[in-house]
């Protein structure tokens, strides 16, 4: 997201900035009481030493409490520690700061046991008090934290002792451990307590104190941010000497520097894929993305109150054409908001709604919309006219909106396309002051969509409200039993097809272009892979 609450502080230059929002959801566990095994710290035989240069589009906000954009999140994943992190095999939560965790029978109380002897980069001990402080500050509305929306289920968080933290929740949340594997980096209480956290320039922009694989050495705004290996990292000293985040907003410049060896890791838009595909010193890694592109309608707008109308509009959009021209074929047609990366919860038997403008016009006619004298559909004296919003930060969003506008006009709709820079656009988006918009959701490593599509969801600015969806989301969230969750999510996907909140345009791919000299990167989406940066090495 990344997060809507942090909209005015973020440098939103990435093509997949999730509309500037960074939202958490909840991950899966298989038993009411889960005891996780300790994670190892790297692959044997890997060389040590060297520097890896990673491209980011702008200056990062070096504080996971408030930094949520495409520059902040990668940096914070490498610099800060999390209670858990996603397993590269299946995205399930695996140990990080916490070595074990357990739940009460009703999943309303979760207890995490922390590692002993963990240190901050200033030498102070990291304890349960730091975890409590982090959660409480994330929930403090004065901080405008992007983490708040996903943590609203937390009633209280308590330091039982120096290495034990207990979360008491307002409702049952079976997959709670995954919420702390996604962006909830732990921050130091002894440094930030009593400060104005959102405006603490010393910490947020210059010299953060952290406990992750890499710690701060040098910040040069507009140019680079150098992290060095944390010698006291609790999973063993990282194999690299240093990880440098280079500020470079133009993707063509990023690719040029990758080819020259000045950069080692670039996230590549599909439109730029040809520039790196045939280079002998670059390997291209193509992974599923934790997210989806969508064209969503404001549920409170009278034009979109009829689900038959929304279903017709979904069929009017040439999604295969968007995938071919905008994504260069590097995407999968959207079905529902639950993407196929969650293989255990995704119902592969369901089909994406077809592109069929003829049937779309027939469905609209059946709903009472007929052509007026100017060719625009009308009903009861009202023309089918609305504004479709998009932003300039992401070519995929902008180009998809252009195609959708043409598709809608072809069936007799009057659609005004309004494309603005993201900072100018997001306040209206956050406040729900739009009629329809093209967006992109970055998801956490779990299929729980409560924050997005439940009636009370923190990020449900389209005001979608379906009683069956509310019930099934609550059911899927209330248990850790995979079979029960799968049943709920299979039914949920059928309801989404029958009552679409909008068009799920496509599920994108996460395309990484990486120097052949850099190894040890797990097969994960880019952001998640940085939580394993201690394992990266140069050959």
Domain boundaries, the chain: 4-264+517-538, 291-509
Q: What is the mean pLDDT of residues 63-74?
A: 93
Instruction: Find residue 109's DSSP bridge partners.
Output: 168
Q: Higher-confidence residue: 459 or 506?
A: 506
pLDDT of 3 strictly over 60: no
What is the rounded radius of gyration, in angstroms, for the C-alpha atoms of the chain? 23
pTM: 0.85
Q: Mean pLDDT, the chain, as a whole number?
A: 90
Structure tokens at 6: 């942090």
Q: How far apart are the first and last CA of the chain?
A: 35
pLDDT of 336 strictly over 80: yes
Residue 380: CB atoms within 10 A of its CB come to: 6
The pLDDT value recorded for residue 411 is 98
| Candidate from 32-41, 62-71, 92-101, 196-205 with smallest mean pLDDT | 32-41
Cα torsion at 210, 215, 219, 224 (round to 10°)?
A: -130
Residue 42: CB atoms within 10 A of its CB come to: 19
Q: Higher-confidence residue: 141 or 22?
A: 141
Asked if 128 and 114 count as a contact pair (C-beta separation under 8 A), the reply is yes
The pLDDT value recorded for residue 269 is 87
Asked if 187 and 140 count as a contact pair (C-beta separation under 8 A), the reply is no
- Element counts in the chain: helices (H) and strands (E): 16, 23
Asked if 14 and 74 count as a contact pair (C-beta separation under 8 A), the reply is no
pLDDT digit string (tens) for 499-533? 999 999 999 999 999 999 999 999 898 999 999 99
Dihedral sign, Cα of residue 305, residue 307, residue 313, residue 317: positive
pLDDT digit string (tens) for 199-229? 999 999 999 999 999 999 999 999 999 999 9
d(CA 382, CA 301): 13
Fold of 4-264+517-538: D-Maltodextrin-Binding Protein; domain 2 (3.40.190)
Pick the CATH number of 291-509 from 3.20.20.70, 3.40.50.2000, 2.40.50.140, 3.10.105.10: 3.10.105.10
The pLDDT value recorded for residue 393 is 80
Pairing of strands 265-267, 242-247: unpaired
Confidence of residue 22 (pLDDT cuts 50, 70, 90): very low
Asked if 436 and 388 count as a contact pair (C-beta separation under 8 A), the reply is yes
pLDDT of 34 strictly over 80: no
The pLDDT value recorded for residue 431 is 87
The pLDDT value recorded for residue 45 is 53
Q: What is the mean pLDDT of residues 54-71?
A: 93
Confidence of residue 485 (pLDDT cuts 50, 70, 90): very high
């Amino acid at each position: 997201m990344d997060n809507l609450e942090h909209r005015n502080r973020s440098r939103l230059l990435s093509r997949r900035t999730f509309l500037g929002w960074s939202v958490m959801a909840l991950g899966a566990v298989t038993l009411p009481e889960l005891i996780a095994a300790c994670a190892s710290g790297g692959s044997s035989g890997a060389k040590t030493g060297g520097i890896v240069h990673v491209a980011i589009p702008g200056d990062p906000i070096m504080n996971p409490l408030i930094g949520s954009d495409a520059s902040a999140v990668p940096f914070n994943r490498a610099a800060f520690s999390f209670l858990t992190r996603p397993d590269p095999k299946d995205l399930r939560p695996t140990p990080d700061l916490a070595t074990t965790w357990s739940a009460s029978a009703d999943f309303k109380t979760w207890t995490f046991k922390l590692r002993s002897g963990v240190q901050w980069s200033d030498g102070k001990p990291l304890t349960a008090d730091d975890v409590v402080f982090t959660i409480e500050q994330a929930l403090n509305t004065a901080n405008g934290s992007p983490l708040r929306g996903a943590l609203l289920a937390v009633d209280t968080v308590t330091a039982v002792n120096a290495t034990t933290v207990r979360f008491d929740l307002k409702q049952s949340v079976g997959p709670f451990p995954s919420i702390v594997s996604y962006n909830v980096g732990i921050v130091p209480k002894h440094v930030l307590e009593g400060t104005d956290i959102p405006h603490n320039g010393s910490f947020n922009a210059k010299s953060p104190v952290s406990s992750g694989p890499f710690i701060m050495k040098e910040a040069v705004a507009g140019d680079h941010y150098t992290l060095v290996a944390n010698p006291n990292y609790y999973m063993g000293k990282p194999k690299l000497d240093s990880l440098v985040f280079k500020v470079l907003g133009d993707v063509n410049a990023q690719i040029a520097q990758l080819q020259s060896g000045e950069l080692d890791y670039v996230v590549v838009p599909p439109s730029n894929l040809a520039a790196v595909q045939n280079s002998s010193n670059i390997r291209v890694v193509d992974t599923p993305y934790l997210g989806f592109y969508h064209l969503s309608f404001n549920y409170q707008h009278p034009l979109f109150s009829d689900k038959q109308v929304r279903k017709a509009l979904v069929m009017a959009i040439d999604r295969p054409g968007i995938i071919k021209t905008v994504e260069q074929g590097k995407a999968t047609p959207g079905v529902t908001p639950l993407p196929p990366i969650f293989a255990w919860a995704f119902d592969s038997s369901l089909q994406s709604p077809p592109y069929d403008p003829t049937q779309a016009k027939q469905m609209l006619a059946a709903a009472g919309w007929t052509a007026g004298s100017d060719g625009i559909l009308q009903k009861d004296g009202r023309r089918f006219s609305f504004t479709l919003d998009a932003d300039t930060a992401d070519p995929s969003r902008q180009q998809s909106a252009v195609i959708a506008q043409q598709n809608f006009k072809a069936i007799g709709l009057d659609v005004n396309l309004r494309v603005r820079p993201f900072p100018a656009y997001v306040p209206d988006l956050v406040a729900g002051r739009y009629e329809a918009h093209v967006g992109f959701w970055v998801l956490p490593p779990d299929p729980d969509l409560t924050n997005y599509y439940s009636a009370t969801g923190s990020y449900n600015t389209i005001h979608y409200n379906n009683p069956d969806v509310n019930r099934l989301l609550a059911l899927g969230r209330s248990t850790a039993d995979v079979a029960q969750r799968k049943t709920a999510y299979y039914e949920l996907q059928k309801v989404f097809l029958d009552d679409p909140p909008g068009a799920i345009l496509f599920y994108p791919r996460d395309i990484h272009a990486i120097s052949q000299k850099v190894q040890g990167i797990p097969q994960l989406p880019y952001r998640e892979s940085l939580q394993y940066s201690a394992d990266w090495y140069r050959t």
